[in-house]
Amino acid sequence: MKKPRRVLLLLGGEWHDFEGFAHTLEPVLAQRGYQIEVAWEPARLLRLKEDGWDGVIAYTCFTTNEGKGAVSGLTQEQVAALTRWVRTGGGFLALHAATVVGSSGEAYRALLGGEFQSHPPPFSFTVYPLSHAHPILTGITAFTIYDEFYLQQYDRAVTVHLIALYQNMAYPVAWSKVEGRGRVAYLAPGHFPTVWENPMYQRLVQQALEWVLKVLP
């Protein structure tokens, strides 16, 4: 019997329903045969190889605020460990506010391929897949969601897969990149339960995870 791929789901920070997200997405990924373990301790990133993880999903929102439950960011040691692990073949999927890097620093922003800048009040917008073929986009058609619209700085070297329009300008909604022998992907939507429950969003998360894990070419 084939051993299931093990994926660490890292949560933490502020402004988001982290437990609700995990409760919704865990069974969606388990249906595809993934063994998901939820973690709130960024120190788990220091032992990814030793603990036998195949992939990491980050649904985090780091902040320099000092409120209750705040997590300011990853330490330099944690960023370095995650980066080494990815470059030697690991798969890293960042979701929604994971680009709110807090105090994590430039090296983490570089690994992600971009960084959150701001967002207007939530509104309904349509997400459009680009015309190029990519495994993340298989079966994905345009879909409309009510969500936060992230305005971000992003590296021009990333491959953008989906866009959405705000004030007559197109902005990236999903991108991917190769990092050494590993892969990184990012999906911007995902603030509200109605997004997590959207079948097209769930398919995107599944396929993005499968791409970073090299299940998909």
DSSP 3-state assignment of 110?
Answer: helix
Query: According to the model, what pLDDT value does residue 86 have?
Result: 98
CATH architecture assigned to 6-212: 3-Layer(aba) Sandwich (3.40)
Work out the burial of residue 110: count CB atoms within 10 Å of its CB; fewer than 13 is exposed, 13-18 middle, 19 or more buried: middle
Choose among 179, 178, 184: nearest CA to 209: 184
Query: According to the model, what pLDDT value does residue 180 have?
Result: 98
Task: Judge whether residue 167 has pLDDT over 90.
Answer: yes
27-37 average pLDDT score: 94
Task: Judge whether residue 69 has pLDDT over 80.
Answer: no
Q: Rounded CA gap, 179 and 43, in Å? A: 22
* Torsion sign over Cα 170, 164, 135, 211: positive
Confidence class for position 182, pLDDT limits 50, 70, 90: very high
Average pLDDT of the chain is 95
Q: Rounded CA gap, 117 and 140, in Å? A: 27
Q: Rounded CA gap, 132 and 161, in Å? A: 8
Task: Judge whether residue 51 has pLDDT over 60.
Answer: yes
116-138 average pLDDT score: 97
Confidence class for position 89, pLDDT limits 50, 70, 90: very high
H or E element, residue 83: helix 76-87
37-60 average pLDDT score: 97
Domain boundaries, the chain: 6-212
Query: According to the model, what pLDDT value does residue 127 have?
Result: 98
